[in-house]
Structures are given as structure tokens and as C-alpha cells.
Structure 1
Amino acid sequence: MEYTERARAAEARDEGKGERGWSSGLTLTTAAFLFLLLRLFAVSGYQWHTAFAVLHTLDLDDSIGIVLGTVLADAAVAAVLLAVLLPAFLFRVVGGFLLSARLREEGRTDPRTGRWDLAGIGLLAIAVAGMTAYVLSFHRWWLLLVSLGVTALMVGLGALARRAHGQVGEASRWAGRHLMGLVLGVAIVAMLLSAALVRTPWMPLERIEVKGLPKALHGYVLEAEPGFLKVLTEREREFLILRDGEVESREEIVDH
């Protein structure tokens, strides 16, 4: 009887984990689809026919470039994400290491805590590289102080969770347990907002000299195939197809 109850309880836990995994996977898939859809409309100036034309220049392999291009295209979005994600990944790696060390001292080592958090270390390395490139490129050293302040806030939250009592203690412990989930949620919301608001596409702006036009054309080359270029203009968000013979020169515009 007792064995049957334990088996049923184990099955219920496994079913709950499966449902949560399916739900989280569906949520991330939905967020990814919504992100790409918002980017498509944002760069098209929310013009339906232009978005339809831009869609046909995309490939499934472009997804990573679209995500990274969105972050790199807007310095403000990149600053917010770096200021939040770098402390979060640092907190995850260091916190996991300290927890593993404490469990070993107490003789309660969990096999799962003895492993290196390779995913966390990889994410931390990416965040550090991004922060370094951002600071060196824009000379905004204050972002390091903001990131340090967020780190101090996370450490203070952890200390409060261990020492506080009552409702404050419960709230801080709940926040500590769900810290990574909260950070991930904030990051997803920030990415969706940036996808909807950032009009800059995922490729550089170019100055294109075209035969017969008195002024150079400013736009984004969405696709360059032998014989033609597919260009999205900078201001009007007009979708143009130019023949190679019409294009006299192309030059990237760095400061815009």
C-alpha cells in the first residue's frame, strides 16, 4: 500500500515536471515567434505590404542575426540588458559555487551541485564580452557602476532572505528562489519592447548611389543576389528592387 502511494506520488511529480517543461517550452517558442513578428513590423514602419515584402528576404538561419542585430542596433536596449544580465549570470555562477562548497562542508553534497555550471559560465562569459565591447565602444563607464549596483541589490536580497523574518523574510526568500525566473522575464519583456520599438533593421545603413537619382539613396540592403539588390529605404520604409547596373556605389554609414 505504501509502495503504491509512493509510486503514484512519483508519477504525479513526473507529470508535473513534464507539464511545466512543456509549458515553459511553449512560452519561449511563443515569445520567439512574437519577437520576430514585432521586428518584422517595426523595421517595416508597421506597413503591411512592406512587411510582406521584407518577409520574403528572410531565412530561418537569419533568426540569430535578427536577435543580435536588434541588441546591437540600439545602444539603450543593449545597456539595459547588460546592466541586468551580467549581475544575474554572475550571481548564478558564484551562488552555485558557494552553495556547493557549503553542502560539501556539511556533508550533504548533492551530485547535481558538484558539477560545473557550464551553461552559467558560458552566459557569464558572453555578458562580460558584451559589457567590455560596449564600454570600449561608447566610453560609458557608468554602466559598470549600474551593473555593480544591481549586483549589490541581488546580494542584499540574498542576505535578507537568510536573516529576515515574517512577511519580509517570506517575500525575500520567494524572490531569491525565483530570481533567475524574474530576470529572464524582465529580459524577455525588454526584448519584446525593443523588437516593437527599435526601427533599425539588423543590418547597417548604407549610402547607395543610383543612376538617374539626384541624391544618394539611404537604405538597408536586405538581400544582395547576383543581378539585383533588395533595399529598404531609411525614412519612408519603401521596399525597392534595384538592378546591379543601376547601382554605382555602396558605402556604409557608420554614424547615424
Structure 2
Amino acid sequence: MVHEEQAEQSGEERRHGWGSGLTLTTAAFLFLLLRLFAVSGYQWHTAFAVLHTLDLDDSIGILLGTVLADSVVAAVLLVVLLPAFLFRVVGGFVLAARTREEEQPDRGPRVDMTGIVVLAIVVAGMTAYVLSFGTWWLPLASVLVTAVMVGLGTLTRGAHGQVGEASRWAGRHLMGLVLAASVLALLISAAVVRTPWMPKERIVVKGHEKPLRGYVLEAEPGFLKVLTEEDREFVILRDGEVESREEIVEH
């Protein structure tokens, strides 16, 4: 009987792991697809051309570039993600300690390394943002969001009926909710941030009165593949046509 229960539990864990892996894989694919259409101005033929400049190795750069490309979106994400992952890490420690005391007192504590690493990344991002833009109010906004979350948790903790059941369910599934909220925030950013994952450049082209403003998607010997800033046109320039390139810093 014990072996059957252990086998059933092991099967549920494997199915849960497969389901989580499939969900994250689907979210990653959707993220890349949304980024492709967003930077192309949701123009089908432009997105098709941009697609051929990408490699699978560009995924991390695209993810980080999405967050760094737009300062407003980055600020919102930092303000929300800092308390979210702080709650995930602290809640994970509390839940692990409670479970260990009630069910397995001899078992060592389980450390949420993923949550700790992401929290450290968010803190580093917050620090870099404040030092770069002088936005001293950003940590205060994050503290305010944390206070609101704590206040809501305190108010709903003693609630009864459907509100109480919903709050207790949210407490038990805190880590999953934080992960889902983070993924949703990234997907929204992928869909609305039009700035590509590389810096904007001013390109002086022979025979053109005005410099071309856009993003160099690919620079190979002999040519440049450029996505223009305004019309989101995909342009291929020969090296001989390019007189100079200058990065434009606007945020």
C-alpha cells in the first residue's frame, strides 16, 4: 500500500514537472513571437525579414534587451518584481519551516535558489537603475507596493467565506502566483515595447541628405541589415554605402 502511494505521488510529481516545463516553454515561445511582431510594428513581412536575423542563442539577449530597452517598462517591472520575489523567498522559507516542524522535523530546510537568484538580479537592476537615472523614488515605490501587499494579506487573513478561502488558497500557492505574475508581466512587455534589443543608431548613407535612424539587426562582412525607427522597414545596406555609424542614447 505504501509503495502504491509513493508510486502515485511520484507519478503526480512527474506530470506536474512536465506540465510546468511545457507551460514555460510555451511562454518562452510566445514571448519571442510577441517581441518579433512588436519590434516590426506588427507588420507581417517585416517580422518575417527580422526573423531571419535571429539565432536561438539570441534568446537571453532579447529577454534582457526587452527590459533594458524601455526605461518606463523597466521601472514598472522593478517596482513590482522586487516585492513579488521578496515574498516568494520569505514565504518559501516560512512554508518550509512550518512543513518541517509539522511533518518532517528531521529534514533540512529547502532553499528556493531560483527565487533567491532572481531576487538578487532584481535588486542589482534596481540599484543600476537608480544610479543611472537618479530615480530615488523607485525603491520607495517598491516599498509602498510591499506595504500594500502586506496590508491586503493582513486584512484577508481573518476573512471568512469566499474571501477567506481565496486568501488562504493564494497563500498556499504563493510561489506559483509570483511566477505566473512575472511571466504575464514579461509577456505584456514583449507585446508593447517597440524598441528592439539593440541600441538605436544614426547611420550616414551615401546619397542621402538625412542620416538613417534605426537598429542594426545584423552586421556581416559586406552588408548591414537595418530596421528603421519610424516606418519599421527592413533595409539592407552595403558596406560601401555606409559612411559612419553613431549610437543614439535617449534613455
Q: So what's the TM-score if we normalise by structure 1? A: 0.87
Percent of aligned positions that are identical? 75
CA separation of 1:244 and 1:189: change in aligned 2, threshold 3 A: same
- In 2, Cα distance between equivalents of 1:165 and 1:252: 58
CA separation of 1:106 and 1:179: change in aligned 2, threshold 3 A: closer
Following superposition of structure 1 onto structure 2, how do residues 1-256 of structure 1 map, counting pairs within 5 Å? 3=1, 6-98=2-94, 109=105, 111-112=107-108, 114-159=109-154, 163-255=158-250
- In 2, Cα distance between equivalents of 1:107 and 1:186: 30
- Partner amino acid for 1:70? T
More divergent stretch after superposition (207-216 vs 71-80): 71-80
How much has 1:119 moved relative to structure 2?
2.6
- Partner amino acid for 1:123? V
More divergent stretch after superposition (63-72 vs 79-88): 79-88
- In 2, Cα distance between equivalents of 1:105 and 1:161: 25
Instruction: Give the 3-state SS of the residue equivalent to 2:231 in structure 1.
Output: coil
- In 1, Cα distance between equivalents of 2:212 and 2:82: 39
Whether the aligned pair in 1 keeps the contact of 2:203 and 2:245 (CA below 8 Å) is yes
Instruction: Give the 3-state SS of the residue equivalent to 1:218 in structure 2.
Output: strand
Q: So what's the TM-score if we normalise by structure 2? A: 0.89
How much has 1:167 moved relative to structure 2?
4.0
Name stretches of at least 5 consecutive residues in structure 1 with no aligned partner. none
Could you report, residue by residue, the CA deviation over 1:3-32 in whole angstroms, capped at 9, with x for unpaired residues? 3xx333332222222222111111111111
- In 2, Cα distance between equivalents of 1:240 and 1:229: 8
- Partner amino acid for 1:172? S
Instruction: Give the 3-state SS of the residue equivalent to 1:230 in structure 2.
Output: strand
How much has 1:48 moved relative to structure 2?
1.5
Instruction: Give the 3-state SS of the residue equivalent to 1:213 in structure 2.
Output: coil
- In 1, Cα distance between equivalents of 2:122 and 2:22: 26
- In 1, Cα distance between equivalents of 2:16 and 2:236: 47
CA separation of 1:119 and 1:110: change in aligned 2, threshold 3 A: farther
Whether the aligned pair in 2 keeps the contact of 1:157 and 1:176 (CA below 8 Å) is no
